[in-house]
Structure 1
Amino acid sequence: MQHFSTNRQTFFLLSALLLIFVEAAFFGNGSVFLILLGIGTIYYALRNKGKYRRSYFWTGAFLIGVSILSMWSLRLMVFGLAVYLLLRLWKGEEWLQTAPVYGATDKGLIQNKVMSIQSTAVEAYEWKDIHVQGFIGDILVDTTQTVLPKKTSLISIRQGFGKIQVVVPYEVPVRIFYSTLLGEARFFNGDNQRILNGTIHAEDGYPADEGNKVELIVSVTTWMGDVEVIRR
């Protein structure tokens, strides 16, 4: 079975919970119980590797599919999405032209935002320690485009849902601390590691005498999200 990334699992979970809430609160549709049963069955399939895993997964998907076809909230979401796409098509590039322009205030390399996809500059930039928190989104920090100072540099990210990717130079020692409720970690050339309500620590590039003055510490905390640290 094709592996589901944490981002995709998070998307399906949040979408299902939203539909369940709307349907139960405004329409009183009893099919929400079948959806809960389907979600539980799929979760069980993803958590286990037995020979009946595929059967559990498709049973859960069938229960959810039958249920959502009768949900008024789903129909309203489809209608809202259609209206949104029509508005984007009508306004076109005008949305970009009317986007707010911020002043020269220094807000850091990555900013605190509730929902966003952010990355450091694609060209050379001056390094500053990163302390950021958000709710939903992906973050990319590429330290190969800057010069890390001769001291300990810090990347501290607290994110609800989303993927965090950090790119570091080959010659820089790195310590990583990652905590999550549900996520997947991949550090350097290692294998993917699935984590359920746990913490993982890794380090790479430290000489035997610990004499290197340059050091990068990466601390990431998520609810549901993947973390990847690679060298380039």
Structure 2
Amino acid sequence: MLKNNKSDYMNWIILIGVFVLLLEVLFFNRGVIFSLFISAGMIYLGRKKSAKKKGKILFWGGIVFLCASVFNMMTFKFFLLAILLHFFIKYTSSKKNPNRVSPVLVEPEITKQEETVVVSKPLLDNTIFGQQKTPTGVYEWDDVNIQAGIGDTVIDLSYTVFPKGETVIFIRNIIGNIHILVPYDIEVSVHHSVIAGTTTMLDFHQPKIFNKAFHLKTPGYDHAEQKVKIFTSLVVGNLEVGRI
């Protein structure tokens, strides 16, 4: 019952937040959509011309403009207030009804054998700024599941050996480009969502995308012994999946 109440509470917050956003866009702050588009455009153009000084100025100017636009939105203030109110209610409830734990002593019937956990270093890690890519030499493959802030991600699969079955790659990026190179003998499937950018997979090319999702795969993917499934999401940036 408590879980259901929490779920209803969060659903009401999201519903009211969407309503507040619509009111703000339609009646109180019609220029917010224009501001968000301008800041996204500045960031996108700045990324493309990042080698030049003007590109860097344009990029960071877009970041500042985007943050200022979001912080000034009535919807952002509503969600901030809702979060503070949620923690306040949770704090007062815990004071009124503290959790009481009574220890229960049970004699163990069977001695459990300790399990060991193997901790390995991931192939790629989460980043906030900067580019990251796979090694340029031979490396041991490990499934990829990362989140990135601002920067490019390059994965070259020609320097590793895949295990039998399905290999999985998850990449979530805010601003930047994702470039994945797949060997010719490996079948591939791509699930991609993007707010603004371009998408290229082999012979498929879709320029100037706005708020779309794609599912693409090679013809022999379903019956292949070795295959790669790729999940990517971008706010602003380009996805390119090619052969090598």
TM category, shorter: 0.5 to 0.7
CA deviation after TM superposition for structure 1 residue 190, in Å: 2.8
CA deviation after TM superposition for structure 1 residue 21, in Å: 7.3
CA deviation after TM superposition for structure 1 residue 17, in Å: 5.2
Residue 124 in 1 paired to residue 134 in 2? no
User: Structure 1 residues 187, 21: CA separation in 2 closer, same or farther (over 3 Å shift)?
Assistant: closer
Residue 189 in 1 paired to residue 203 in 2? yes
Tell me the equivalent position of 1:140: 154
Tell me the equivalent position of 1:219: 231
User: Structure 1 residues 116, 107: CA separation in 2 closer, same or farther (over 3 Å shift)?
Assistant: farther
Between the aligned residues of both structures, percent identity stands at 25
Segments of 5+ residues of structure 2 without an aligned counterpart are: 1-40, 48-54, 69-118
Summarize deviations over 1:127-160 as a string: whole Å, max 9, x none.
1000000110100001111011111101100010
CA contact (8 A) 1:164 1:226 kept: yes
CA deviation after TM superposition for structure 1 residue 214, in Å: 0.8
Tell me the equivalent position of 2:241: 229
User: Structure 1 residues 21, 109: CA separation in 2 closer, same or farther (over 3 Å shift)?
Assistant: closer
CA deviation after TM superposition for structure 1 residue 170, in Å: 0.5
Q: Distance in 2 between matches of 1:20 and 1:149?
A: 43
CA contact (8 A) 1:173 1:206 kept: yes
Tell me the equivalent position of 2:45: 8
Mapping for residues 1-232 of structure 1, pairs under 5 Å: 7-8=44-45, 12=58, 14-16=60-62, 18=64, 106-206=120-220, 210-232=222-244
Q: Distance in 1 between matches of 2:170 and 2:181?
A: 14
| Larger RCO (alpha carbons 8 Å, 6+ apart) | 1
CA deviation after TM superposition for structure 1 residue 211, in Å: 3.0
CA contact (8 A) 2:43 2:62 kept: no
AA in 2 matched with 1:223: V
Q: Distance in 2 between matches of 1:158 and 1:230?
A: 19
Q: Distance in 2 between matches of 1:228 and 1:214?
A: 21
SS in 2 for 1:191: strand
RMSD: 2.8
SS in 2 for 1:18: helix
CA contact (8 A) 1:149 1:214 kept: yes
User: Structure 1 residues 183, 150: CA separation in 2 closer, same or farther (over 3 Å shift)?
Assistant: same
Q: Distance in 2 between matches of 1:217 and 1:17?
A: 32
SS in 2 for 1:107: coil
CA deviation after TM superposition for structure 1 residue 120, in Å: 0.3
AA in 1 matched with 2:126: N
User: Structure 1 residues 132, 192: CA separation in 2 closer, same or farther (over 3 Å shift)?
Assistant: same
Q: Distance in 2 between matches of 1:108 and 1:20?
A: 32
CA deviation after TM superposition for structure 1 residue 183, in Å: 1.4
The count of aligned residue pairs is 146
Relative to the length of structure 2, the TM-score reads 0.54
User: Structure 1 residues 118, 205: CA separation in 2 closer, same or farther (over 3 Å shift)?
Assistant: farther
CA contact (8 A) 1:177 1:201 kept: yes
Structure of greater Rg:
2
CA contact (8 A) 1:174 1:205 kept: no
SS in 2 for 1:121: coil
CA contact (8 A) 1:6 1:225 kept: no
AA in 2 matched with 1:167: L
CA contact (8 A) 1:175 1:203 kept: yes
Relative to the length of structure 1, the TM-score reads 0.56
